[in-house]
Structure 1
């Protein structure tokens, strides 16, 4: 059914179509030209592993802008968004397209330049070679062929890797023909009721050969002068005609479909602002042509719309029964009932049994009764529109077919009512569990507000000082949850460091000025630390409810690790697209399973651990960045509590680098996999980008290391739970495990974690990478000596030990590392500065 498929396209039709995984064959990827064999069209795919992986045109794209990469999808597809990357070339490539144009074709002959809703053709592209930049297509594209035209503002080299996201346009509409819209003048102000996104041609006041706003999935509101899109003109959501300007009593619209179909119902969303001369059409006369070369069927179908209940000025959907007549071309005449007629959307119920089955597999609860008028329910479920705006209520007009059977109509109405009740029950059920979860979150927050004596969950080694501290480093800003009774007292045998001085006054600036909530986490450590949320904080207001996933959808694969409070499992979701509230990654192919990491809290965990678990989930749900692991959903309605996150099949960065050697200028001399200095810097830049995002929200990671960076680069927190990395953590009297070799001196001595301490850990992580993870940081020191070294940083007598410069590391980059390890935390660079340095300067040092 066209209507169901179209609305799915607006919300769920965002599957990767196969550039990355090879579903689209090389033969269907062509280009105007290429540099060489290694940069020809077939390399224009997303690349998440090794390899050159880019299409690069042979000719200059400035000023002609005539070079293109073309993808043939073999059939019509609905395209909701596109993504681009630059050329990686194992870190050597620096080519990417800062902008591009899109052209598409449904038949391979007529090419259309895509424009956004404001008429702009140029699409913003990439700023580096590795980040994926996704562009939502508004309006969406219906096409078989798509071309990417890279642009430049000067003579420069550009390269592209692309992916397309959408789904099949199954037996859909090809084009519609209609009169152009008119301009209404209200109080001297123009209201433009034209079809601004129509992609066909216009001649003699008629638009033909394209698709536009009548099928873009955007419903107009009650007041047609108000729009749902920002920065557009009044009347944008409607296509409207004046009877006087048109010079006839009806609006004729013709629809051309790809194949012959059996039409059961047409639904027209119409405005009825009768106080301004706008009314729903009074009747519709439709003709049907079963094939392009066949004559029009007779007799035409005449459908009357009763007007006695149209005093309500609300816009509404008008359902028109078409009697199951077959047609490939459908022509309808909509009769004026007043001076103006405004239509926002037209949709058809004409699907085959196969189409209905596909949708019923996704949402079986919506198909438990007769599906004669299934388009009403599907519309409400996918559009996200206000319930009253789309639900046919009492008094709304339903067109009458003189030849129709009264019993059938009654049955249809009963079916609609039952379906409405089903949807209402589902919505109420979901709202109930959202309230329960919200209540749990609120209780967790209140427990912080009413415990003024809370102290850090990682107590300091010492509590006072005889020596002055650097500004901003003297105050422990963390306030965690109170320890449970079963926990031993804080570090009973603290090393004999000099006592620390009292904290600085509150006026002294700090990296993180707000108190932060420390979380125990499933792994037994603090995963992320975040400024305490208040009801008035902007970050709290931006929080969205956690997506609840059905537990039965998780299929256990293997155990990744365990910690003090729970376990981390590798699981599989067999059909992720069937879960409407799952934020599944865009690179998942339809029909393919999705691998996920599942953090599971032990059922016997303490109340504090449970509260921490919910807080951690709330924190992770806010972290949406290309280089941060994403929370996909939670299972918190029953025990055990679960968090479901992305899982990168390529593993972590530590394991990846430790099996490689550095590629020197003489090239590879053995069979061991190699990696180049530019590739290392590119990955470090991505880590810095992710940390820049975290620091912009005042989030503190507390365990940044190569073991917690997955490939492609996404910062995670699984390292502590894996036995593989047990040697990277120092256990304090059976209480806590700390990654002391990555921790700043103030973390070790005072338990103080800030963005500045994350910068210290980044310096150690960068040292790991340039040493290709061949040894631990401070491998020549014992754990106790590492703690002693933190004391030397505190005393600042010049006896502290720094990590040595790796062989491949240029002095300029080593100076950056040393600045990350500055004793004065206020003199350490910001992640914004580090990211800028790595993207602009470090790549050219070797």
Structure 2
């Protein structure tokens, strides 16, 4: 029973913190889980165009919901959907009325209103304050709009917007997930401006708050503390929304709140709950006077009309003056029951900043009207809670005692079964991790034929796609190009990856590739075994740098066994001597990226780290990140690399527009078409160098291309961007985290840098304004790989970016050829791109 309670605590601890990048499930318009009675409208043209027909990709009735008459610009007709419970809404999809090609009405734009209680309605606006969303351009294609910020609501209204008198019809799907946190509003003092000397002004207000602002206080709404976006370690940096410094945090200065020395916040929930804990994501950049709170006291109110209970829960934190990383602070709430909480957070320094607050609780009432499944563990918890409440409130009649005993026995048996299943699943997962060569599911197998009659007849491997998508057992010839191993890689003793598709090569054997799993969580490179052997037999060629001359500035990234820090390296140019790869610093301090192995790293991670150093020390190309020196004479082991002042290419381009008279006149950061072409050539040059060494990058994308202050691109992959770009990665069946939107269709078996290079070109010429296949969910991206496999003409390609010359898009399409031999090599890509720069 104790084990079961521990499992319950762990399960509840995971509830309430929502990642908007993964909370994208269809809520039931298309498949009918949302009932007709829950879909209403302000009006309808005919019975056959009523709101019940407003279901995406469905054509019952006359094919859509159409409001009555011609829609005027001043009209506010709406389609209303009752989701049945509080929901974290992240995406809206719309279509027009197609009606089997008989209709041609659609909404070119629309607004959203929402309500958590059916009484108070609020208008959604994006992070720039705009309320109108782009709608459809024709009657049949669906348009998917991500909500930035997301909405926490139970009722949603879609209000078509028109600028002319016209007929409008709509079909809709809504995407998100249940809001199990239950929080419906919080109240707090308004955030304040911070003016750090030498830095831009940080506005630490709650800019997406949907409640009231009165007397410098927020109340009655939700905002950035519940949007699922966690602030960065440096509060002046934001997560790609083209907003101001400090945007992700709500912050207060100690002396601005009088002499009380604390910030008081009040939280109101949808119903009475048993609270286990509160998690507060707090900044801790102590070098700028910011720390997590020193202590917190919380009072509880069981009902809205009741008073506050006298005895609070108090919690004192452990302050950290060494690590400036932002972090979650978990406050135990001792299973106190309440519908409202009032918490006082006490200052530990000049400033206190929060970016997210979530609550973990067990419900004290069941929720009947819902369109989603209730987890089994929640049902068990509710049953147990109900039984305990019954036994502690009123003494049961003797006639009911056998029934209660029977219920308890049944619950205990169910708990034993659940515990057994959990332990069995853990055992099976461990077995599968230790035996990756075993076929996980014999029903879904792809047989790969060899590329030569001299090879073994078949090489079997599971195609790790959605089982409902792929049910094949066929023979498909696959050969290699400039592609390295995922599950199967070329035998380098026979041929290089570039030679394999020109000659008859043996079957792929994964034993001939060494993968460097970077200690910061990234797959650094896949390296042929022969190359590794020839390199690692030598000593480390990088010089030992005095670690006391590395001055910590901030943390850039982290993984399971290591971290990447930004440091100032005193005396590094003199240490490296003549021929130093460092650019002229013009008197500025030398900043470097320091990759450090953690003290608790395994011996295998330590060996991989040293092996990575040996190989990195022999990479020498102007477009590959450079290893400068090491600190390996004592622990912790460190490697010191170049630091790129302009960050990664994704962030750089997403903050710029294409160069024009308008950008020059308004001093808007911009890039020219020739800049984009030059960037493309640099990346192809760096990849050509890696390919010449038979290295396979395995994660080529703009997020892993860094820029120095002279806009020289250097390819890297040190896990620096994994937290920032977590939505670019997808965990398939509990295995490795994969960048599926950059991977070739066959990449479950092979990793192809050439395909990823084509996607990277596409990113560059869209100025990284959207994610590849942004209209597809992760599951649909994987499904699309199955269409490439089946090759029946239904596969989806990335569209041609408007900035991209036709000849260059043709080059991208060659990178995405289904058959690997038809893809160009990096040498060919480099030669094809160079003339574009000179035009």
TM-score of the two chains, using structure 1 as the length reference: 0.48
Largest Rg, 1 or 2: 1
Structure showing greater relative contact order (alpha-carbon pairs closer than 8 Å, 6 or more residues apart): 1
